[in-house]
Structure 1
Amino acid sequence: MTAEDSEPVTFESLGLIPQLCEACEKIGFTKPTEIQQAAIPDALEGRDIIGLAQTGSGKTAAFALPILQRLFQNPQPLYACVMAPTRELAFQISEQFEALGSTIGVRCAVIVGGMDMMAQSIALSKKPHVVICTPGRLVDHLENTKGFNLKQLKYLVMDEADRLLDLDFGAEIEKVLKIIPRERNTFLFSATMTSKVEKLQRASLVKPVKVEVATKYSTVSTLLQYYLFFPFKHKETYLTYLLNELAGQTCIVFTLTCANAQKLALMLRNLGFQAVSLHGQLSQPKRLGALNKFKSGGRNILIATDVASRGLDIPGVDVVINYDVPQSSKDYIHRVGRTARAGRSGKSITLVTQYDIEWYQRIEHAIDKKLDEYPLGKDKSAVLMLQERVGEAVRFAHMQLKEEHANAKAGKRKRMGALEGGDDKDDEETAATRLVKKKTKGKASNKGR
């Protein structure tokens, strides 16, 4: 069925029951997206699905709606399992399942690393209908949680399958495939069809229907894509200038490393920006807290590593800034896909220095598009006027990071001493004394400046 057909495509015309159509209306889904139109009818007929679609195309609802309909017709616990590459994406998929299944009373459990195993075991003992997980933690529970198994599983979904395999979850996925029923439906959704994904498809799907609504590398037409070229030594200054220019807009700034994400968040807060960081070295509660602050509008700048580039649907992101040029064209597609979602417009700006030219050219070649230079205005000297303030903020950020690191080491030493049961007061005093000396030395050197 195509957009040119005389009758408009609706969720009802795809074969969904009134309860699910009502849930779609409640959360603002006015009409099915391309991937939903292509996947839902075959999925309702009980076929295995390979779904290839660009990020932000509505993939989650494309697999959630058929599962919820079949669950409504044949209710049972532990009916479906959805595997996702990141913890944040798992929580988001759970939210969507609960919103779409609100009219039929669906129960979900999120099983990811970084959270309390016992609390998760209790959630699993309550027999949820849908388990959304990261593969490693699912295997932990299958091996260690008494009474939990997936012997009655009817649906297995692998979302962002290319990313699952890039993150080396292959061994865990194989373990899961060995112990779940052969008589099941499998949905494999991915933005790109790599050789690893093809191998996984052959191992786990039976006569699948392939649904493809995007080219291998593509960005949406409503996205304005720019680059900005400057010397590496002015990188933090250009970022600060851009965020000043974009004041009032919601921005995600992507970095390659956790250290950069943490440093930039501290630097920007020292300059008065409402910035929060999200990266893999934060504890899971802190990661969720940062994401919720950004989603709710409590902070308008999110500094993130690629842990936030896949699948996260954050409404109203106006701008994506690539502080570090991604070293994979796929990562670029996913990063800029955080804006211009669901038909809205958006903007991306990639910061390019003399060291990034090769990576940048690869991205242009992959997306078959020359990016426009971001218009800075006539007077570029306005950027460099910020240099001194930004330099001071960066120095403070480095001091804060050193202090956090020292406090963490002292805390670890204290915990180790308590575990060993020895009298470690002298060691603790020594660590504390070292910290005080370090701080005093830092203050003295600042006075010298």
Structure 2
Amino acid sequence: MEDAELSFAHMGLDARLLQAVAELGWAKPTAVQEAAIPLALEGKDLLCRAKTGSGKTGAYALPLLQRLLNAKMAPTVSAQVVRVLVLVPTRELGRQVVRMLRQLAAHCARHARFADVSGSDDMSAQRPILMEKPDVVVGTPSRVLAHLQARNLSLQDSLELLVLDEADLLFSFGFEDDLKKLLCHLPKIYQTFLMSATFSADVQALKELVLHNPVTLKLQESQLPDSSQLSQYQIRSETEEDKFLLLYALLKLSLVRGKVILFVSTIDRCYRLKLFLEQFSIPACVLNSELPVQSRCHIITQFNKGFYDYIVATDEQHLAEPEVLGQGKKKRGKRAEKGKESGVARGIDFENVSAVINFDFPPSIESYIHRAGRTARAHNPGTVLTFVSCSESAQLAKIEAALVGETSAITLQPYQFQMEEIEGLRYRCRDAMRSVTKQAIKEARLREIKEELLNSEKLKTYFEDNPRDLNLLRHDQPLHPAIVKPHLRNVPEYLVPPSLQAVARPLNCKRKRRKPLPPRTKEQQNPLRSFKFTRQKSRTPAKRKKPS
């Protein structure tokens, strides 16, 4: 009977939604879904805090769709109106939410229409979609407010449900003013779901703005999975060179296998790490928050599909100023505006990530939790490796204290690795680091911008009117980010540490085998035969016929 109480079938959901849930492989609801869905179906406002990857999207998506189906199947069919508004902090998260809604509504698609206005498309292109009055509108506060002010969207008389996803990021990304203005365009009565990974001061401010006598769900669970699912290690590195050497050994000897996310502190560091790995023929991609949303989503798709096993990313801008580690109150303003709609570490669905490597130490406890939350999702095992220098010991102690405060099962174990065993690889590491100069990093970023310009749909019309600019861009001086040296491609067996030879699998690039040649003729087997024959034939004069 206990299993029946935990199933989706006993929550009063439509059979079509249950069929979609089964096709997604959701055997039973997660803790947040089990707690939130029944209350949401009763029409209560919810303030829900749950860890990253706990199924918060499904916790509000299923009640949302059930409410739509109830409205559409009512005896008195009402006019087509916008009933639900979902606000998200980033464009990537907006796309992800719409994708999830469409998957759950696969068997009732004609009763639920969705519109994603969080993208960077021109507002005039999104206007016709909104004029059709989709049932659910998903977008960032700034874009939704712009459509409301342009009268492309009206919610005053129709909105029934408001969802704020990743609510703790909405204020941090500079959306505070937009949210306050947006609320003036909403009716006085509507149901609200406020979903967050933390209960910060920003979340409390949002609670006062949008919630009315909410039910607070603060699940008594750790922000991260326990040690049976998530293994967490610390690796001591004395110098910057040691960090690069350790990473080279871990990846090139396949001590860390599967898909890996490498977190660094700045975008320049992203490209430095990418170019460093390319010196050893290890392909990696950079998730640059400064690129357009379509490019970022394309990179994530390539990573999820397995085109790349390694992706280098940074935190959101607001996490760069840690409040938890004693830096004082988080600042807003220009820096917050820079990070607006460009988050990377959270709200992005990286699939089947086996390990997270904190190449640069996380600036706060929140940052560490959000980074680690990219792996060990949906009951899959995962590993977090954090590089720690001598100056970061105090920060490490604070993170460990916070994790132990949640549950004593979570600690950062020392990674058993002897640096002296990989000293033979140090000269190769130095050779690669010398190749990755500041100029090489600059040219790598310029080349990526150049490719964006050439592939931009918005600039296509401009280049048609100005073909000379297009030719100049195409025939500009070629950019060479870094010279790849062939001798660094493979790891000789004598450089593999003896203690690791049983487990290491060097990522050596094998040469292509030549196709077997066709069988040779007698002349080909002995070239002298044909050579002598042609010489004799050329030197011997032809016999003249005797005159008759």
Which TM-score applies when normalising by structure 2? 0.71
The 8 Å contact of residues 270 and 397 in structure 1, kept in 2 or not, is answered as no
Q: 1:18: Cα distance to partner?
A: 1.2
1:323: Cα distance to partner? 1.6
Give yes or no for contact 2:257–2:354 (8 Å, CA) kept in 1. no
Q: 1:305 to 1:118 in 2, by over 3 A?
A: farther
Q: Does 1:400 align with 2:443?
A: yes
What is residue 369 of structure 2 aligned with on the other side? 333
Aligned match of 1:446: none
Q: Which residue of 2 aligns with 1:232?
A: 240
Correspondence for 1:324: 360
CA separation in 1, counterparts of 2:433 and 2:440? 10
Runs of 4+ in structure 1 over 4 Å off: 405-408
Residues of 2 paired with 1:136 and 1:263: CA distance? 33
Match of residue 128, structure 2, among 114, 119, 122 = 122
Of 421, 425, 433, 1:391 maps to 433
Q: Is the 8 A contact 2:249 2:422 kept in 1?
A: no
Q: Which moved more, 1:240-249 or 1:49-58?
A: 240-249
Q: Residues 57-85 of structure 1: CA distance to partner in whole angstroms, max 9, x if unpaired?
A: 11000000001001001034322111112
Distance of aligned partners of 1:74 and 1:310 in 2 relative to their CA distance in 1, 3 Å threshold: same
How much does 1:239 deviate? 2.4
Q: Secondary structure of 2:307's match?
A: coil
Q: Check conservation: 1:228, 1:351, Cα contact below 8 A.
A: yes
**In structure 1, the residue corresponding to 2:380 is in which secondary structure?**
coil
User: Offset of 1:211 from its aligned partner?
Assistant: 1.3
Q: CA deviation at 1:227?
A: 1.2
Q: Spell out, residue by residue over 1:20-72, the C-alpha distance to the aligned partner (whole angstroms, 9 max, x if none).
A: 11110011111011100100001001000111111111100000000100100
In the other structure, the counterpart of 1:82 is 86
**C-alpha distance in structure 2 between counterparts of 1:159 and 1:176, whole Å:** 16
Counterpart amino acid of residue 92 in structure 2: E
2:84–2:135 CA contact under 8 A, matched in 1: yes
Following TM superposition, by how much is the alpha carbon of 1:173 offset from its aligned partner in structure 2, in angstroms? 1.3
> Over aligned residues, Cα RMSD in angstroms?
3.1
Distance in 1 (CA, whole Å) between partners of 2:178 and 2:187 is 16
- 1:133: which partner in 2? 139
The answer to whether the Cα contact below 8 Å between 1:35 and 1:212 also exists between their aligned partners in 2 is no
Change (3 A) 1:82 1:402: closer
User: Is residue 2:67 matched to residue 1:70?
Assistant: yes
Identify which of 114, 134, 141 aligns with 1:108.
114
Return the offset for 1:354. 3.2
- CA deviation after TM superposition for structure 1 residue 235, in Å: 2.9
- Partner SS, residue 314 of structure 1: coil
Q: How many residues align?
A: 425
Query: Match for 2:68: what amino acid?
Result: L
- Match for residue 362 of structure 1 among 369, 380, 398: 398
What is residue 11 of structure 2 aligned with on the other side? 14
Partner of 1:218: 223
The structure-2 alpha-carbon separation of the partners of 1:393 and 1:79, relative to structure 1 and needing over 3 Å to count, comes to farther
Match of 1:203 among 193, 200, 209: 209
Distance change (3 Å), C-alpha of 1:432 and 1:187: closer
Distance 1:393 1:91, change over 3 A: farther
Amino acid at match of 1:283: P
Equivalent of residue 346 in structure 1, options 382, 390, 407 = 382
Aligned-partner SS, 1:321: strand
Q: List runs of 5+ in structure 1 lacking aligned partners.
A: 444-449
SS at match of 1:69: helix
Q: Which amino acid aligns with 1:404?
A: R
Q: In structure 2, which of residues 260, 264, 274 is the aligned counterpart of residue 251 of structure 1?
A: 260
Q: Which moved more, 1:22-31 or 1:147-156?
A: 147-156
Residues in 2 aligned to 1:156 and 1:334: alpha-carbon distance in whole angstroms: 25
- The one-letter code sitting in structure 2 at the alignment partner of 1:210 is T
* 2:91 maps to amino acid: R
Which is worse superposed, 399-408 or 131-140?
Answer: 399-408
Counterpart code for 1:398: I
Structure 1 SS opposite 2:171: helix
- 2:56 alignment partner in structure 1: 59
* Conserved? CA contact 1:254–1:320, under 8 Å: yes
Matched, 1:94 2:137: no
Paired residue secondary structure (1:390): helix
Distance in 2 (alpha carbons) for counterparts of 1:340 and 1:108: 30
Which of residues 378, 381, 389 in structure 1 aligns to 2:423?
A: 381
Where 1:243 maps in the other structure, the secondary structure is helix
Any idea what SS the aligned residue of 2:18 has? helix
Alpha-carbon contact 1:278-1:287 (below 8 Å) kept:
yes
**1:113 Cα offset (Å):** 4.7
SS at match of 1:252: strand
CA contact (8 A) 2:235 2:386 kept: yes
- C-alpha separation in 1, matches of 2:143 and 2:449: 31
Tell me what 2:540 maps to: none
Change (3 A) 1:407 1:289: closer
Offset at residue 184 of structure 1 (A): 0.6
Please tell me whether the aligned partners of residues 240 and 390 of structure 1 are also in contact (alpha carbons under 8 angstroms).
no
Q: Is 2:168 the counterpart of 1:159?
A: no
- 1:314-363 CA distance string (max 9 Å, x none): 23110011122121211211111111011211001111223433332322
Structure 1 residue corresponding to 2:348, chosen from 284, 307, 312: 312
Equivalent position amino acid for 2:417 in 1? L
User: Secondary structure of the residue that 2:48 maps to in structure 1?
Assistant: strand
* 1:113 and 1:136 in contact (8 A); partners too: no
Residues 65, 105 of structure 2: 8 Å contact kept = yes
